[in-house]
Structure 1
Amino acid sequence: MGWWLKQFTLPFLAWSLIFNGLSYSEQVPKYTFMKDATSAPPILSYDYIIIGGGTCGCPLAATLSQGARVLVLERGGSPYINPEKIDINNFVNSLSDITPSSFAQQFISRDGVLNARARVLGGGSVLNAGFYSRASSKYIRESGWNETLAKESYKWVEKKVVFEPPMMQWQSAVRNGLIEVGVLPYNGFNLDHMHGTKVGGTIFDKNGKRHTAADLLEYAEPRRISVYLHATVHKILFNYNTEKRRPQAYGVIFKDAFGIMHRAYLNKKSKNEIILSAGAIGSPQLLMLSGIGPASHLHVHGIKVVLDQPLVGQGMADNPMNVVVVPSPIPVEVSLVQTVGITRFGSFIEAASGLSFGHSWSERLQGIFEFVSNQTLQHSMFPTKTKESIADTIGSLTNPTLKGGVILEKIMGPRSTGHLELLTNNPNDNPSVTFNYFKDPADLRMCVEGMKTIIDVINSNAFSKFRYHNMPVQALIDFMLHLPMNSRPKHSSAAYSLEQYCIDTVLTIWHYHGGCQSGKVVDHNFKVIGVEALRVIDGSTFYRSPGTNPQATVMMLGRYMGEKILKKRFFHGKK
């Protein structure tokens, strides 16, 4: 199945557009500068080449286009083709889609946890739960960023894509429950990061329509930007700068949906650069494929070493998430994350409700695991028949639409880190990723405290109308142990130990970071250390996830660094 997908998926997509009688740009009228890579000339030249039109790449490209010619190469398609596909009602279906044209590329980490990485213009903002909250002032200061410019950059993003969510019954009950159990103070609707309970921003408007980082391209100067879709970069090209005595990036090789090779070069000017914004999975992967990484690992894959950099792929992290599903005796609205409890012990409490899974969610989860396992030849580790005895008494949890909701916790940081390695030399293939969830005991302690808070919220008076009073929380925890949440082994003691429950039922919250960390792989200006004309600007440079959710800060960073780069370019040109 995996071979068939690789051989025929992208060519089929390109031919289908042609046989429909419409070019890609005609099907997607959002931007005149956005085209399918099959229409790209064999050789292109620009001032900046941005690899990845994601959550960071789009605001970065829009900003740089105000003063330079910019090329964006995005391996995925356009979110504007079928906007209903990504509205709030289709959140789960879009995120868990395993069809060849999906916006999400599924993979299973070496920890046995199902994950998804974006392959679409707008990146993770096309797939996520929409929550928008800034990083703390402390995080910004410790990152060495200018606080005034960071604040201005946040506001630039927020004018286009951020809304105040409508607080309906489920989210209000969780909010009031958090306040009742002592997650204080209550800070109301607020985009800033602060301890207590608050309502954050959302990228879903009042009609449930998703607004993404791709919308930030509306800020771009259309005469100075080109965005090519289904353009998969295979390699960054380097020559040797004799003056600086180090490698210098000068171009890239990318392939379109037909597999035809194109080359893009930097215009000959000292300040022109290639900028890697392919995300925490894609950026370290492409550095390695281009010859920057641990020399011994590159030799195994037959890759010529440009720079022996053993720290590429190190420090990989994902904030672990653990959930409790709460069936409701009364109807619930469809809602994604709006309320958050920011505790002082390092756990964040969030919630969602009324999620639609298309069919039994237990069956859907197991089906996705088996599909991805077959593609990667990883054993799924599921029993022959998923245990569903408890599900008989909680019928709402086996229906296509969850008649209730989930309350979840994720931990700050995390402290536990892992690594990324290549499996193949094909950039379309997922690398091997290990996150080492809960390897650091402090992470596990935060999870336990977070789970205790969730239990208290479920038992609170404020939440009482949304729970069956003859169904204790322990029954909900017992049920979770029988679902194919991940492919990790389950322990019977988990029903009586929150520590074991956290370990056995851990999920991803898709907040990957690390792999190209600042101070190790890139410097404080995001320039790759030891190389000229190459930067990495995205979440792969982070040591920990900013705030409760990273998307606000990743979008801000694109604008922030675009402004800094243009300012330096302008003043350099005046000298």
Structure 2
Amino acid sequence: MGWTLDKFIWALLVECILLSGLSHSGKASKYAFVREATSAPPFLSYDYIVIGGGTSGCPLAATLSQGARVLVLERGGSPYTNPERIHLKNFVNSLADISPSSFSQPFISTDGVLNARARVLGGGSVLNAGFYSRASSDYIRISGWNESLAEESYKWVEKKVVFEPPMLQWQSAVRDGLLEVGVLPYNEFTYDHLNGTKIGGTIFDKKGNRHTAADLLEYADPKNISVYLHATVQKILFRYNTGKRRPEAYGVIFIDAMGVMHRAYLNRKGKNEIILSAGAIGSPQLLMLSGIGSAKHLQAHGITVVLDRPWVGQDMADNPMNVLVVPSPLPVEVSLVQTVGITKSGSFIETGSGLSLGPSWSERLQKIFEFVSNQSGQPSTFSSENTQRVADLVRFLTGPTLKGGIIIEKITGPRSTGHLELITTNPSDNPSVTFNYFKDPEDLRICVEGMKTIIDVVNSKALSKFRYPNLPVQALLNLMLLIPMNLRPKHVNTAYSLQQYCIDTVLTIWHYHGGCLTGKVVDHDYKVIGVEALRVIDGSTFYRSPGTNPQATVMMLGRYMGEQIINKRFSG
């Protein structure tokens, strides 16, 4: 790929942004090993190559660096360049940013639901709502993890990035409402996944500053680690060694922000590996681009087949989220998820308040849909009439911030699954993703039960001062149907039900997983089945989303597997 003027200017801008961030952020200045990929030599050699410096990649690389030389290739930029950009108050704006330098890459699943994938050092922990909650003890046991090491790994993460939230008026009212309607017992503040109502951890400190998986690089040995930003891996390289019948990963090709190609190889000596930690979208996508996947699908895209593995990209799942906006006559704090109700029916109830949507929110949403629709070929459902109607609604609900809160339900699991397929052979392009929301009727049943719980909470005495007495819940449900939050058809003028509400207004909570499942694509040591020197360590290996929110467990897994790999490296 040659140099062009626009690529040169873009790379120069990236370098200026990075240098500005390093000079103004004490935390970033400590990371002398984090550099732009434009500064990388044409050929590199390391013991471990980690593809993706995200929620699992950062703790994994930091741990591996304690006993080996590690290279991290991250396709995005640094979260430290502008800390205000990822502050609590800018959560919505950061997630909705579609500029070339944004930390969020939007995509629309074939189900018509707007979604996003991270492209930044720290991954989804730079964009999410900050809630921190461990997986259940049953999840840990079923996953085959050593309980003692998992506990130690969670604590390792928590020392750096997790805090107890302040619990102000809105969050406290929803907590009391959950208890009032029977989501019991009250488990107070805890990281543990326990049935009932609890207060979880948060990666936002008391000043609203976000702490991310990138902070876990503070644990790294700076002499043994190199992290390159805006380094987009094109493919993993394989060879056949004499005497071995299985392909072996030995290197990667990546390009920098100028489009210049680099090659990174594994050192010849030692138990060295390439580790994919590119997330539930990126990891199966890159396996396919490298020749591992359904032979028929790969050949259709002109990709040389290294290993026919039809399970790659299969069993993709995304926990459906449904929302109810509750306008408030009283001011509420700006808060993201702190309170959670873990119900017996299998739904999780969470809440936020005072979010900085702003009066241009509807226009911003329209631009996102149009931007992604143009890339995916899906039509946008926004008309000028719809845009004006939504703008009027948003002006009613918002000023600088949302005058009220949102209460959401997410279903456990889910049981419904879909698949991922390549559209192009460009790793920067989004693949086609299908999640099949509510394909399994049990998922729909759980959603309905969750919405009933939300309605009961809204009608509870605990929340009474935060709702308009002349605005019944049915009116709030109707309001949500008027806002085109996804590209699915709405059934406003028909006899309505909570089942139809769940189907029509489904959103993502960004907890998608699958595509490289344990036992199908990777073994229980996360090694890719049928290949040497290649693992996948991230949420793409999960059958179910762990706990109420997965980031705690994804970070834990990075530390956990780093410890396992290093221990085996030196045990003979």
* TM-score of the pair, normalised by structure 2: 0.96
**Distance change in 2, residues 1:9/1:338 (3 Å):** farther
- Name the CA distance, whole Å, in 2 between partners of 1:393 and 1:107: 25
Q: Does 1:16 align with 2:13?
A: yes
Matched with 1:293 is: 293
- Name the CA distance, whole Å, in 2 between partners of 1:21 and 1:486: 35
Q: Per-residue deviation at 1:379?
A: 1.0
**Distance change in 2, residues 1:499/1:80 (3 Å):** same
Larger mean CA deviation between 532-541 and 26-35 belongs to 26-35
Q: Per-residue deviation at 1:25?
A: 5.8
Q: Which amino acid aligns with 1:268?
A: R
CA contact (8 A) 2:72 2:227 kept: yes
- Name the CA distance, whole Å, in 1 between partners of 2:4 and 2:324: 41
CA contact (8 A) 2:238 2:249 kept: yes
**Distance change in 2, residues 1:207/1:368 (3 Å):** same
Q: Per-residue deviation at 1:370?
A: 1.1
**Distance change in 2, residues 1:10/1:163 (3 Å):** farther
Matched with 2:521 is: 521
Superposed CA deviations along residues 354-401 of structure 1, whole A, max 9, x for unmatched, are 111243323322221112112333211334521766986885325452
- Name the CA distance, whole Å, in 2 between partners of 1:232 and 1:421: 19
Across the aligned residues of Structure 1 and Structure 2, the Cα RMSD in angstroms comes to 1.8
Q: Which amino acid aligns with 1:206?
A: K
Q: Per-residue deviation at 1:174?
A: 0.4
- Name the CA distance, whole Å, in 2 between partners of 1:335 and 1:219: 29
- Name the CA distance, whole Å, in 1 between partners of 2:94 and 2:449: 32
**Distance change in 2, residues 1:259/1:331 (3 Å):** same
**Distance change in 2, residues 1:350/1:18 (3 Å):** closer
CA contact (8 A) 2:327 2:405 kept: yes
Matched with 2:313 is: 313
1:520-539 alignment, distance < 5 Å: 520-539=520-539
SS at match of 2:236: strand
Larger mean CA deviation between 6-15 and 215-224 belongs to 6-15
Superposed CA deviations along residues 327-374 of structure 1, whole A, max 9, x for unmatched, are 000101100000000001100000000111243323322221112112
Matched with 1:181 is: 181
- Name the CA distance, whole Å, in 1 between partners of 2:339 and 2:16: 46
CA contact (8 A) 1:249 1:534 kept: yes
**Distance change in 2, residues 1:10/1:115 (3 Å):** farther
- Name the CA distance, whole Å, in 1 between partners of 2:466 and 2:494: 25
Matched with 1:260 is: 260
Larger mean CA deviation between 288-297 and 356-365 belongs to 356-365
Matched with 1:3 is: none
- Name the CA distance, whole Å, in 2 between partners of 1:346 and 1:266: 45
Matched with 1:557 is: 557
SS at match of 2:41: coil
CA contact (8 A) 2:349 2:409 kept: yes
1:484-499 alignment, distance < 5 Å: 484-492=484-492, 496-499=496-499
SS at match of 1:223: coil
Larger mean CA deviation between 30-39 and 273-282 belongs to 30-39
- Name the CA distance, whole Å, in 2 between partners of 1:512 and 1:465: 36
**Distance change in 2, residues 1:285/1:110 (3 Å):** same
1:81-480 alignment, distance < 5 Å: 81-386=81-386, 395-397=395-397, 399-480=399-480
- Name the CA distance, whole Å, in 2 between partners of 1:391 and 1:370: 16
**Distance change in 2, residues 1:278/1:394 (3 Å):** closer
CA contact (8 A) 1:25 1:34 kept: no
Larger mean CA deviation between 236-245 and 149-158 belongs to 236-245
**Distance change in 2, residues 1:378/1:12 (3 Å):** farther
- Name the CA distance, whole Å, in 2 between partners of 1:455 and 1:440: 24
Q: Which amino acid aligns with 1:15?
A: L
Unaligned runs of 5+ in 1: 1-5
Larger mean CA deviation between 85-94 and 26-35 belongs to 26-35
CA contact (8 A) 1:251 1:266 kept: yes
Q: Per-residue deviation at 1:484?
A: 1.4
* TM-score of the pair, normalised by structure 1: 0.96
Q: Which amino acid aligns with 1:332?
A: V
Larger mean CA deviation between 239-248 and 481-490 belongs to 239-248
**Distance change in 2, residues 1:525/1:41 (3 Å):** same
Superposed CA deviations along residues 514-537 of structure 1, whole A, max 9, x for unmatched, are 000000000000000000000000
CA contact (8 A) 2:43 2:262 kept: yes
- Name the CA distance, whole Å, in 1 between partners of 2:41 and 2:21: 15
- Name the CA distance, whole Å, in 2 between partners of 1:363 and 1:405: 21
SS at match of 2:29: coil
Q: Per-residue deviation at 1:29?
A: 1.7
Larger mean CA deviation between 375-384 and 347-356 belongs to 375-384
Unaligned runs of 5+ in 2: none
CA contact (8 A) 2:313 2:421 kept: yes
**Distance change in 2, residues 1:8/1:317 (3 Å):** farther
Q: Which amino acid aligns with 1:82?
A: N
- Name the CA distance, whole Å, in 2 between partners of 1:19 and 1:211: 23
CA contact (8 A) 2:177 2:461 kept: yes
- Name the CA distance, whole Å, in 2 between partners of 1:416 and 1:507: 15
Q: Which amino acid aligns with 1:116?
A: A
SS at match of 2:247: strand
Larger mean CA deviation between 364-373 and 453-462 belongs to 364-373
Runs of 4+ residues deviating >6 angstroms? 6-9
CA contact (8 A) 1:514 1:539 kept: yes
